[in-house]
Amino acid sequence: MWKLRNGFKNRAKQSRNIAERITHSPFPVIVCGDMNDTPSSYTYRKIKSELSDSYTVCGSGIGNTYAGQLPPIRIDHILSSKTLQCVDYKIFKKYYSDHFPVTATFIVSPETIDEKP
């Protein structure tokens, strides 16, 4: 049980560090990957606080990114600065690992480069 608790603590600490870097970034930001956390978790909410979730903006369906035996859950995320426009989000049902690959496509305008996220 301590291993799970330590994992939650470590991810919480890492999420605070990432959120701090997002806040101070002079550039638009994309944070993506296997977060092993659902959208209701502290870690996800901390990182997402100033970002948009590509799945909620332009995804569809259940959004299951975990290919294992658990019920459908979304634990792989693509988050971006709100100045970036998500135009496509896909989950590929390919069994390369215990997670399905995800992609998002963004439009970046010249004005976006000069704006703070």
The phi and psi torsions of 105 (rounded to 5 degrees) equal: -115, 135
Task: Determine the structural domain holding residue 61 and report its residue range.
Answer: 2-114
pLDDT at 6: 78
State the pLDDT at residue 68. Answer: 87
Quote the pLDDT of residue 7: 78
Q: Is the pLDDT of residue 4 over 70?
A: no
Kindly report the average pLDDT of the chain as a whole number.
90
In percent, how much of the chain has pLDDT > 90? 71
pLDDT at 116: 53
Going by C-beta distance under 8 Å and a sequence separation of 6 or more, which residues neighbour residue 6? none
Residue 55 has pLDDT above 90, yes or no: yes
Please check whether residue 65 is in contact with residue 98, taking contact to mean a CB–CB distance below 8 angstroms: no
Domain count, the chain: 1
Mean pLDDT of 21-31: 95
Q: Counting beta carbons within 10 angstroms of the beta carbon of residue 50, is it exposed (0 to 12), middle (13 to 18) or buried (19 or more)?
A: middle
**What's 19's domain CATH number?**
3.60.10.10
Q: Which helix (H) or strand (E) holds 85?
A: strand 85-91
Separation of alpha carbons 45 and 32, rounded Å = 14
How far is the first Cα of the chain from the last one, in angstroms, to the nearest whole number? Answer: 38
In the predicted model, what is the mean pLDDT of residues 69-96? 94
Each residue's pLDDT tens digit, 42-53: 999 999 999 999
